[in-house]
Copies of this chain bind each other. A is one copy, B any other.
Amino acid sequence: MSITYPRGFRAGGVSAGLRRNGSPDLGLIVNDGPVRATAGVLTSNRVFAAPVAWCRPVLEAGTAHAVVVNSACANACTGPEGLADSRAEAELVGGLMGCAPEQVLVASTGVIGQRLDMVKITEGIHTAHAALGTGGVVDEATARAIMTTDTVPKTIETQVAGARFGGIAKGAGMLAPQLATMLVFITTDAVATHEELQAALAPAADVTFSRVDSDACMSTNDTVIVLASGASGVALSPEEMRAGLTEVCSGLARQLVADAEGSHHDVLVTVTGATTEKAAVAVAREVSRSNLVKTAIAGNDPNWGRILSSVGCVPVEVAPFDPDQVDVSLNGIVICRGGRIGEDRDLVDMTPREVRIDIDLHAGDATGHIWTNDLTHEYVEENSAYTS
């Protein structure tokens, strides 16, 4: 169970023949209401794909009835023709669902710079529509239909104050060879307006998906969508709605990190003692983007010099602190104290998959974190393999 765990939703995932191996590659999620409220967060990459361009006004209206999504082709860098393809998908789904094309969200993931095979897409949408249902099997097929190089489907479900939430996700940052994109689809049967959903989703995404920085690459297709059906009859408080969405986003984000391509370690970089949360996140992000830190972790090397050096690359106007006051802990061992050698590095156990880097700037009370991965041979292998 996941996206049809909340009442008022049907879903379907089918193989439209877009992926060569015959795996599911086209999904349809339908909101049967009675409420049909939508919110979303889209990539901030200035080079964004056609489906992202299509979704912007649909999400602003905030009343989508359905989402259609495909893998294998990102429909990115495809010009006006690509946008026409996204519109054609919305028109077809709208026709089948009895709603306007402008009430259908479209998402794609896969190879950049390639047109969609609209013959297969059209057939796939009809098949998916015929297969619409609820329950574990349907949810699994839909979660699989959005996978590219993911090794496992990512799903979640939870309850807050009698309202149900479900979600599926694929990807982690932009990890695969031309197979871009993090896609996340969340459903809830809470009663909510577009504005209430958006107000809860934005901060939820900000402290979860926006703090996953697997390889610092932002995709052309990143899309997070939440649909509310109102079928539970339960209206949540703003705090409850935010709590529910944050729990779903947090759980899916953690699954994305755990399945990041070629990774051997999930790395949680936590910065404390910062002047502001923004400063803390900036320092954590700088560390999480250092290839020297990431390769050291791949080698199970508790190399605090590289961590401290990357901390020092953050400009003082972004994060004020005194480098001579900085402590760095690795998996609980304070190997750097006051900017200098701390406890014996041999005490650090680097074998667990989850690695915790804790940096105390001793400059304030704010904290922030980033999840990242190590940089391994497998990452290079998977991302340097010839396209096609």
Contact = CB atoms under 8 A, between A and B. Distances in A.
A299 B79 contact: no
A313 B217 CA distance: 8
Contact of A292 (B304, B313, B324, B383): B383
Given A291-B375, A300-B386, A336-B77, A311 B47 contact: yes
A313 B218 contact: yes
A138 interface: no
Contacts of A76: 305, 309
Interface stretch (A116-124, A147-155, A173-181, A197-205): A173-181
Interface string A263-274: 000000000000
A159 to B, nearest CB: 38
Protomer copies = 2
B386 A375 contact: no
Contact of A45 (B299, B313, B381): B313
Interface in A51-93: 76-79
A216 B291 contact: yes
Contacts of A308: 47, 77, 112
A20 interface: no
Query: Which size class do A's interface residues fall under?
Result: 35 or more
A177 B301 contact: yes
A376 interface: yes
Interface in A178-222: 178, 180, 215-220
Contact of A301 (B180, B292, B298, B384): B384
A326 B216 CA distance: 22
B78 A309 contact: no
B113 A220 contact: no
Interface in A24-65: 45-48
A178 B47 contact: no
A340 B301 contact: no
A310 interface: yes
A17 interface: no
B306 A178 contact: yes
Interface string A164-176: 0000000000100
Contact of A77 (B289, B292, B305, B316): B305
A49 to B, nearest CB: 10
Contacts of A21: none
A296 B217 contact: no
Contacts of A112: 305-306, 308-309
A47 B377 contact: no
B305 A111 contact: yes
Nearest to A291: B215
A380 interface: yes
Interface in A244-300: 289-292, 295-296, 298-300
A46 B323 contact: yes
A130 interface: no
A47 B79 contact: no
Given A298-B380, A377-B377, A384-B299, A46 B314 contact: yes
A89 B45 CA distance: 51
A218 B46 contact: no
A215 B324 contact: no
A184 to B, nearest CB: 19
A340 B291 CA distance: 30
Contacts of A300: 386
Given A78-B340, A301-B384, A384-B299, A216 B309 contact: no
Interface of A: 45-48, 76-79, 111-114, 174, 177-178, 180, 215-220, 289-292, 295-296, 298-301, 303-306, 308-314, 316, 323-324, 326, 336, 338-341, 375-377, 379-381, 383-387
